[in-house]
Structure 1
Amino acid sequence: MEPVVKKLYEAGANIHFFGSSEYRLMAKLPVWSCDSSSWAKYPSLGVVLFWNPKHSRFDMTDKIHFPKLQEGKTPSGCVYYRDYDYLRDFEEYLGSNLSFTLDDMIGEEADLNRAVVNMLYYCQLEEKIAEHQRSLGFVLPD
């Protein structure tokens, strides 16, 4: 995929990814835009995304699960919020950026709150991706 994307970029095309909004793919390629269904699905599944600056890995995204019901099964690739090692950091992030608490993430009625948190994540992710793309020398339209 990389050679094709780079060839299109070098020809002046603005590349749009369908079905993926993952940092690990977007940041390394001259991709201008993307869309995927995860932004719409995650809140209803109880999944909240958090760019965790305490990680040292390339993609610092954490997927935190807030089940709607006590017995809710945590989706693959996610961590149950009570088991999340950085819960205090996440709670501080919620409060300082959105005036939310952890209670705002829990339960059947919290879908909208989780969606708002994920919208903030995607706005921040866009900046992180653009920053990394610029560091690789890619020049993309605003």
Structure 2
Amino acid sequence: MADTKCVLIIDDSLPLGVIANTAAVLAASLGRLYPEMIGEDLRDHQGQVHEGITTLALPILKGTPALLKTLRAQLRESEPALLVVDLISATRTTRSYAEYAAVLAQGPDAAIQYQGLGLLGERTAVTRLTGNLGLLR
């Protein structure tokens, strides 16, 4: 993706620690899906190696539970042109990935509450979907 943009949209009503964890999970998952976003390892002035970090800015935008749910439904139409990762509130009540998977499989959709979304794709498309959202501060 030549002109690529990546954003995270997180429910700004969550506690700070949950917001930080949500951002970390979404960013790690996007990095797995799009490894090209990670730059090459670098050497410092002493020759020490520093592992590559993201070459894309990762702005964190604020959302509400209703906005995240609506946006997630809209994004289904844009996949796979846009990479989308979502994180639901079940991560705070489940003890394993298997339990998390079971909650997703059970549904219903009305019971799923999104904590955050990660989007990565063509700059214009991502901006069109998220350009009206403010930065999470």
TM-score by length of 1: 0.23
Structure number having the greater strand percentage: 2
TM-score by length of 2: 0.24
